[in-house]
Amino acid sequence: MSDTNNRNVPLYTASALQIACKAVNGCQDAESAAQVRMATLARVQSYVNVHVKFVNFHNGSTVRLVVLPEYFLSGFPLGESHEEWHAKGVIQYDGPEYEFLGKLAQSNNIFLCGNVYEVDPNFPDLYFQTCFIIGPNGDVILRYRRLTSAFEVTPHDVLDKYLDLYGLEGLFPVAKTELGNLACIASEEIMWPELVRANCLRGAEVLLHPTSEPGSPKTTDRQAARKARAMENQIYIVSANTSSIDDIPIPAYTCSAMSNVTDYHGDIMAEAAAGGESMIAHAILDIDTLRAQRRREGMSNQFSRQLTDVYAMMYSAYPLRTGNTLLKDGKEQTPPDREWFKHRQNDLLERLTK
Rounded mean pLDDT of 275-294?
A: 96
Q: Is the pLDDT of residue 3 over 70?
A: no
Q: Is the pLDDT of residue 1 over 60?
A: no
pLDDT band with cut points at 50, 70 and 90 for residue 19: very high
Mean pLDDT across the chain, nearest whole number?
94
* Alpha carbons 114 and 69: distance in angstroms, whole number: 6
Q: Is the pLDDT of residue 347 over 60?
A: yes
Of the listed ranges 45-49, 113-117, 196-200, 330-334, the least confidently predicted one is: 330-334
Provide the pLDDT for residue 5.
62
* Alpha carbons 276 and 20: distance in angstroms, whole number: 8
Q: Is the pLDDT of residue 35 over 90?
A: yes
* Alpha carbons 67 and 111: distance in angstroms, whole number: 8
CA 12 to chain CA mean position, Å: 20
The model carries a pTM of 0.95
pLDDT band with cut points at 50, 70 and 90 for residue 320: confident
319, 348 Cβ separation under 8 angstroms: no
- Lay out the sheet containing 206-210: strands in order across: 175-177, 180-184, 206-210, 236-240, 260-262, 268-271
Provide the pLDDT for residue 335.
82
Rounded mean pLDDT of 274-299?
A: 94
Provide the pLDDT for residue 25.
97
Provide the pLDDT for residue 330.
85
Q: Is the pLDDT of residue 73 over 60?
A: yes
179-195, pLDDT tens digit by residue? 999 999 999 999 999 99
pLDDT band with cut points at 50, 70 and 90 for residue 302: confident
Provide the pLDDT for residue 2.
45
Rounded mean pLDDT of 322-334?
A: 89
Closest CA to 74 of 104, 101, 98, 38: 38
Rounded percentage of the chain residues whose pLDDT exceeds 90: 84
Q: Is the pLDDT of residue 354 over 90?
A: no
188, 224 Cβ separation under 8 angstroms: no
Rounded mean pLDDT of 66-75?
A: 98
Rounded mean pLDDT of 169-176?
A: 98
Sequence letter at residue 338:
R
